[in-house]
Amino acid sequence: SKIDRNGNWGQPTPMSAPVNSSQNEGTMCFDSRGKTLWFTRCPSEPNMQLGCDIFMATQKGDNWNEPKRLELKDHDSTNVGHPCVSPDGKTLIFASNMAGGFGGVDLWMSTYDKRSDSWSLPINLGAEINTAQNDMFPTWGPNGELFYSSNGLVGMGGLDIYKATQVGEEMKW
């Protein structure tokens, strides 16, 4: 959807292939220039338990290049999704039910290595963020905060929104 001169949003239009496919695409984010896209894609195969993945695509002119699946999962049935990339495009925070978490869905982090053109093995964001329940839907705030939802902390009920502030230069909250 585009904004007109008066600040009104126009009619939404679907993104074209290869981003949209016959699979289920969902939560997405862009780098600060809007030239790289990360999104969740979940296969829709009957009678199969295939987990969701995060894909990355770069813009080429008015189109998008073929998306690449990020190697983040520990098992085929693991779900990874809800990508949230730092403003510099080097840190990816996402939600996953992979082994080694605190329970339910946790927030995990991976960093990009330009030299090898790959993402690091995911690291759990730890007990400062994650609970025994579900912690998901991460988003970077304008001042480097991490906003996310949790149903494992005391709140109003169900999923509530929380804000974590980074401590130091490392990804500690």
pLDDT per residue over 48-75, tens digit each?
667 899 999 999 888 899 999 999 988 8
Cα torsion through 80, 145, 101, 161, rounded to 10:
-80
Ranges of the chain whose pLDDT falls below 50? none
* pLDDT at residue 33, rounded to an integer: 86
Query: What CA–CA distances, in Å, run from 131 to 70, 90, 128, 154?
Result: 25, 25, 8, 11
* pLDDT at residue 108, rounded to an integer: 96
Q: 86: closest CA among 146, 130, 27?
A: 146
* pLDDT at residue 142, rounded to an integer: 87
* pLDDT at residue 53, rounded to an integer: 94
Provide the whole-model pTM: 0.88
* pLDDT at residue 15, rounded to an integer: 83
**Residue 145 and residue 143: Cα distance in Å, rounded?**
6
* pLDDT at residue 171, rounded to an integer: 67
